[in-house]
């Protein structure tokens, strides 16, 4: 700019002015559409991320429940073993000379009866542990589906940024394809597939 009021634009000034007023190429709002699309993909991706975290937490809770039931089952089996030891001692005592055999026969019968109840409870606890383990595995599978969907959405966001920078309309199709793949994966997670 000169002192006499004569104004000369440099190349940078021209580019800034051109960008501020919008180029002829952008008359249809290309950048605006990409920006809105990126915001929508980001929001949907955040929801996928939340679901992924929720299923991961559920998997950990279910695995913890399985471990608790497994420990309870182990305790029952130890109790069963203790009753077996007492039964064996009572059976051994019957073979000793001068003991009340009928007393020990009753004890052996009582231990056998008690062991059956303990065994049933231990088996029920093992079944419950297996059920919790299976539920945990299902949740981990769902977590992986949600994580895959979120990863694809992040790729779609990156592609949208590249599309905006390069203004390549064919890249916009790549964004749509990646978003569709992410949506399909999320649908599979939602349907427990």
Which tens digits make up the pLDDT trace of 57-76? Answer: 999 999 999 999 999 999 99
Q: Give the pLDDT band of residue 1 (cuts 50, 70, 90).
A: very low
Q: Name the residue with higher pLDDT: 18 or 160.
A: 160
Q: Please report the pLDDT score of residue 16 as a whole number.
A: 47
Q: Give the pLDDT band of residue 10 (cuts 50, 70, 90).
A: low
Whether residue 20 is predicted with pLDDT greater than 90 in this model: the reply is no
Q: Please report the pLDDT score of residue 13 as a whole number.
A: 52
Cβ burial, residue 141 (10 Å; 0-12/13-18/19+): middle
Share of the chain above pLDDT 70, in %: 85
Q: Please report the pLDDT score of residue 117 as a whole number.
A: 93
Whether residue 12 is predicted with pLDDT greater than 80 in this model: the reply is no
Q: Name the residue with higher pLDDT: 167 or 6.
A: 167
Q: Give the pLDDT band of residue 177 (cuts 50, 70, 90).
A: very high
Q: What are 112-160's pLDDT values in tens digits?
A: 999 999 999 999 999 999 999 999 999 999 999 999 999 999 999 999 9
Q: Give the pLDDT band of residue 4 (cuts 50, 70, 90).
A: low
Cα dihedral 57, 63, 64, 69, rounded to 10, equals 150
């Amino acid at each position: 700019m000169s002192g006499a009021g004569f104004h000369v634009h440099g190349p940078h000034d021209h580019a800034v002015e051109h960008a501020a007023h919008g180029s002829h190429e952008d008359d249809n709002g290309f950048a605006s559409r990409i920006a809105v699309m990126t915001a929508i993909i980001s929001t949907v991706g955040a929801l996928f991320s939340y679901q992924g975290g929720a299923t991961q937490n559920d998997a950990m809770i279910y695995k913890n429940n399985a471990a608790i039931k497994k420990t309870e089952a182990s305790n029952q089996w130890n109790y069963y073993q203790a009753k077996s030891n007492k039964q064996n001692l009572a059976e051994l005592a019957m073979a000793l000379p001068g003991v009340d055999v009928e007393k020990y026969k009753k004890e052996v019968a009582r231990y056998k009866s008690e062991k059956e109840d303990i065994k049933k409870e231990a088996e029920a606890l093992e079944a419950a542990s297996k059920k919790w383990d299976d539920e945990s595995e299902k949740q981990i599978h769902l977590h992986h589906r949600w994580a895959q969907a979120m990863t694809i959405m992040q790729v779609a966001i990156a592609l949208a940024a590249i599309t905006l920078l390069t203004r390549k309309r064919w890249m916009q199709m790549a964004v749509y394809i990646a978003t569709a793949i992410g949506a399909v994966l999320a649908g599979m997670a939602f349907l427990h597939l």
